[in-house]
Homo-oligomer: A and B are copies of this chain.
């Protein structure tokens, strides 16, 4: 594998999921694979799980890790071609990417959506510029429109907890006071489209995600109907895609409650975290034995580790 910027960069998702589960039995098995090599983790945004799990995964593979908060520790980057750089930005990504590539063997990047300009976000300027200029493998730690490491961890988690060959999986929108990106939902959908499952997306009318991503995935606007007989309920807020980046709806009736979970087939509750309790999900649900959010977070290490392993090999 050369880059991991999209879930489709993994040749065979099902095989990778199995390898990741095997890896959990002996996470230091490939300790010598990264010896003498370095990964740079570049954060343009805050992070908890991604920051820690990717470091852990890299250390498990024997990689040296250099973490950099690009916004506060480096220089403001210009991404446009041909600009006269006489304003605030003091370095062009052409130089930054090529230079960083001199000091490491893999670059991992987190750069969230701006949520103000749909076309800019869809262009994935930051991660694509690094891919274009770095000349070394680039890993997506959440870009403007995708979070494939999360989706891979989700796939691992569902594989571990599923009780039937073809489970029913519901991706449900839930309300949130602030505008959130579409990245997690997008990558979850793209991952689900590769799996054998009955997959349903549910959200209020007007909260449709990018149809280029949802494609033929089933959309059910009635949340309760969507929950019927579900084996997994995956919850996530996103801001409007149509009215780009806006919070049009904070309808509290979309929060996940135990009442709603009763409609399911004893479904497991999933969320990528961080999660706002009693806004996205009631305490009673996230604190229930059916909540697997912690196991899901734990799998972030093994998702990152299998990706880095494939890149190193």
Tell me the A residues contacting B by CB distance below 8 Å: 28, 31, 36, 38, 40, 43, 46-49, 51-53, 55-56, 59, 64, 66, 68-69, 72-75, 78, 81-87, 89-92, 94-96, 98-100, 102-104, 177, 273-279, 283, 286-287, 293-294, 297-298, 301
> Which of B51, B52, B75 interacts with A274 by CB under 8 Å?
B75
Contacts of A92 in B (CB 8 A): 275, 277
Given A56-B66, A102-B294, A102-B301, answer yes or no on A75-B95 (Cβ-Cβ < 8 Å): no
Question: Once the chains bind, are B52 and A297 in contact (CB under 8 Å)?
Answer: no
> Which of B84, B85, B278, B287 interacts with A83 by CB under 8 Å?
B278
A40 to B52: give the CA distance in the assembly, Å.
9
> Which of B82, B90, B177 interacts with A283 by CB under 8 Å?
B82
Contacts of A301 in B (CB 8 A): 102-103
Nearest opposing residue in chain B for A175, CB measure = B86
A286 to B68: give the CA distance in the assembly, Å.
26
Question: Once the chains bind, are B52 and A104 in contact (CB under 8 Å)?
Answer: yes
Question: Once the chains bind, are A66 and B55 in contact (CB under 8 Å)?
Answer: yes
Given A59-B38, A90-B274, A279-B84, answer yes or no on A66-B46 (Cβ-Cβ < 8 Å): no
Question: Once the chains bind, are B273 and A99 in contact (CB under 8 Å)?
Answer: yes
Contacts of A297 in B (CB 8 A): 95, 98-99, 102
Q: How far is the CB of A254 from chain B (nearest CB, A)?
A: 14
Contacts A52-B66, A52-B104, A90-B276 aside, 19 further interface pairs with beta carbons under 8 A come to A38-B59, A48-B96, A53-B102, A53-B103, A55-B66, A55-B103, A56-B66, A82-B278, A82-B283, A84-B277, A84-B278, A86-B177, A90-B274, A91-B274, A94-B277, A95-B273, A95-B274, A95-B275, A103-B298
Nearest opposing residue in chain B for A27, CB measure = B36
Contacts of A87 in B (CB 8 A): 177
Subset of 5 A-B contacts with CB under 8 Å:
A38-B56, A48-B73, A51-B74, A56-B103, A90-B274
